[in-house]
Amino acid sequence: MTKKIVVTGIGASSPLGGTAPESWSALLAGESGVHSLTHDWIDQYELPVTFAAEAKVRPEEVLDRPEAKRLDPSSQFALISAREAWADAGSPDVAPERLGVDYATGIGGLWSLLNAWDTLREKGPRRVLPMTVPMLMPNAASAAISMALHARAFAHTVASACASSTESIHNAYTNLQLGLADVIIAGGTESAIHPITLASFSSMQALSRRNDSPETASRPYNIDRDGFVMGEGAGSIVMETEEHALARGARIYAEVAGGGVTADSYHITANDPEGRGASRAIALALAQAGATPDDVDHINAHATSTPVGDIAEYAALQAAFGDRIHSIPVSATKGATGHLLGGTGALEAIFTILALRDRTAPPTINLTEQDPAIPLDVVTSPRALPDGPLLAISNSFGFGGHNAVLAFRSV
């Protein structure tokens, strides 16, 4: 028997705010989280891109110093957002053996790894911190959350590039359906605004180079979009069966109605231009939700603001929805947040959940001249969603050909 899986807590540390409510309010207000970087290494390495979407609230402002010192920034953001989500869910009274973690990252402890390498080269092996490996390993965030919240059912880690946290949420959905836990904290994190990533993404011509106007650089669907903007932060959601949530009197945000995960098997960085894998992921998500394309009321698109990627996603949407895609309100929230890589799916899942709760599709900022090759109904100012039951999907696609889609239903 299929169980109804619901969301009872949300937490986020993003370029728009230090919490989920702050991030949502800033998104609705049309704010941008993208700014020029002021670090010394910008000039030191003569980087071609000098801006990014750093988290608005720094982890050291939230965490105790001893705790922060043992965690890479990516794990710091994860722990902050997970604690917020846990408190928001009412700190459920659940047996540790029935509490699970499924958490994602695209890159992991990049800062810890490269700082340790610098220390080794400059000061020798004896100065490398003994906690280096536990800080750099990709599963560090899920482990930190597991230990902080005493979750002993499992602590899984997904690393599927920019589809990672959407895939983690779908894994949590599946494991709750299987009865492997009563409550699961799922989501994703990233802190990779570093000289090496800015240089590498720039080298492959994936990043916007609007150094003179960083706030308008992330411009999904705009005809002159020239690349994505690096972002950082984390998003976490608490998920449980409806039966468990109702039994403890929990507030329910939305239902996780289903999901779909596929692979393109096409190219290590490029999307399948025909969108076959992505459209199949959408179809799987709708099928798991017991829905059809006609039931979808809102879409939070992956829409990274790259010339090729936005076109490929449109091809996938058109394949999945046919001509109806042109009348579904689409929000591309990376215009405001930049691209959080492994954390982006979780943050956008939270935005989708809140769009259903508030019956408001959030705006896509910086869209001044829409690409005629992408004739979507793009939301550019907060738009009311219709009365009655609502269904929305959130898309995430990543390097390696990873596709992940979630379907959410209003309650």
Catalytic residues: 162, 302, 339
Which of 314, 326, 334, 311 shows the shortest CA–CA distance to 219?
334
Whether the Cβ atoms of residue 18 and residue 62 lie closer than 8 Å to each other: yes
Q: What is the DSSP letter of 17?
A: B
Strands 183-190 and 99-105, bridge-based pairing: parallel
Alpha carbon distance 199, 195 (integer Å): 6
Tokens 């989920």 sit on residue: 20
Rounded to the nearest angstrom, the gap between the alpha carbon of residue 341 and the centroid of all alpha carbons in its chain is: 7
Which of 209, 201, 211, 213 shows the shortest CA–CA distance to 226?
209
Tokens 């999907």 sit on residue: 393
Q: Please give the radius of gyration of the chain, using alpha carbons only, rounded to the nearest integer.
A: 20
Element holding 255 (H helix, E strand): strand 254-263
How big is the CA angle at 351 (ends 349 and 357), to the nearest 5 degrees?
105
* CA distances in angstroms from 88 to 127, 150, 221, 250, 373, listed in the order given: 41, 17, 34, 10, 42
Strands 35-36 and 51-52, bridge-based pairing: antiparallel
Which residues, at least 6 apart from 233, have a Cβ–Cβ distance to it below 8 Å?
12, 13, 14, 15, 55, 77, 81, 189, 190, 191, 337, 340, 343, 347
Sign of the Cα pseudo-torsion (62, 251, 171, 276, in order):
negative
Strand, coil or helix: what is 293? helix
How big is the CA angle at 360 (ends 358 and 366), to the nearest 5 degrees?
135
